[in-house]
């Protein structure tokens, strides 16, 4: 076992270092090149004809939205049944799980149903930056 007499203090000496900022001049050629860059908008916007098969992809995403909404409805129905059975039988855990399931299903339906509007909103907001 070690006692306090066995431990020796260690002295650390730190030398102060002076920090100075050194400004490096920018070469004239780089400055001229930066001033020559156009400061205008490149006018690039999304279009529906840039990639072949875009209409098929839109159909697939529409189908996924439909399937997602159907899954939300099924989840809400199952959760509501669990909530009702739990409340009727006095099973508070099942009732609480059913209640949570209903809320999660409603939130998921809000997100899935509003996905197109959310993306459009943020796309339009980003275009104004």
pLDDT tens column, 13-26: 556 655 565 556 55
CA atoms of 17 and 61, how far apart (whole Å): 61
Long-range Cβ contact pairs of 44-49 (< 8 A, separation 24 or more): 46/123
Please say whether the beta carbons of 73 and 108 come within 8 A.
no
What percentage of the chain has pLDDT greater than the value 70? Answer: 69
The whole-number pLDDT of residue 5 equals: 58
CA atoms of 129 and 56, how far apart (whole Å): 31
Around Cβ 72, how many Cβ atoms within 10 Å? 20
CA atoms of 8 and 15, how far apart (whole Å): 22
Does pTM top 0.95 for this prediction? no
Nearest to 49 by CA among 40, 58, 61: 58
Rg (C-alpha) for the chain, rounded Å, is 32
Mean pLDDT of 62-84: 97
The whole-number pLDDT of residue 23 equals: 58
Q: What does the block give as tokens for 45?
A: 């916007």
Task: List, for residues 78-110, the tens digit of each pLDDT value.
Answer: 999 999 999 999 999 999 999 999 999 999 999
């Amino acid at each position: 076992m070690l006692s306090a007499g066995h431990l020796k203090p260690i002295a650390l000496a730190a030398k102060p270092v002076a920090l100075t900022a050194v400004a490096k001049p920018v070469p004239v050629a780089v400055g001229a090149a930066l001033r020559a860059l156009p400061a205008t908008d490149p006018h690039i916007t999304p279009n529906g004809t840039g990639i072949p098969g875009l209409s098929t992809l839109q159909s697939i995403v529409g189908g996924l939205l439909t399937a997602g909404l159907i899954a939300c409805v099924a989840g809400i129905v199952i959760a509501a049944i669990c909530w009702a059975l739990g409340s009727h039988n006095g099973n508070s855990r099942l009732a609480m799980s059913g209640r949570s399931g209903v809320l999660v299903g409603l939130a998921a339906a809000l997100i899935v149903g509003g996905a197109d509007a959310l993306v459009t909103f943020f796309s339009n907001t980003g275009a104004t930056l």
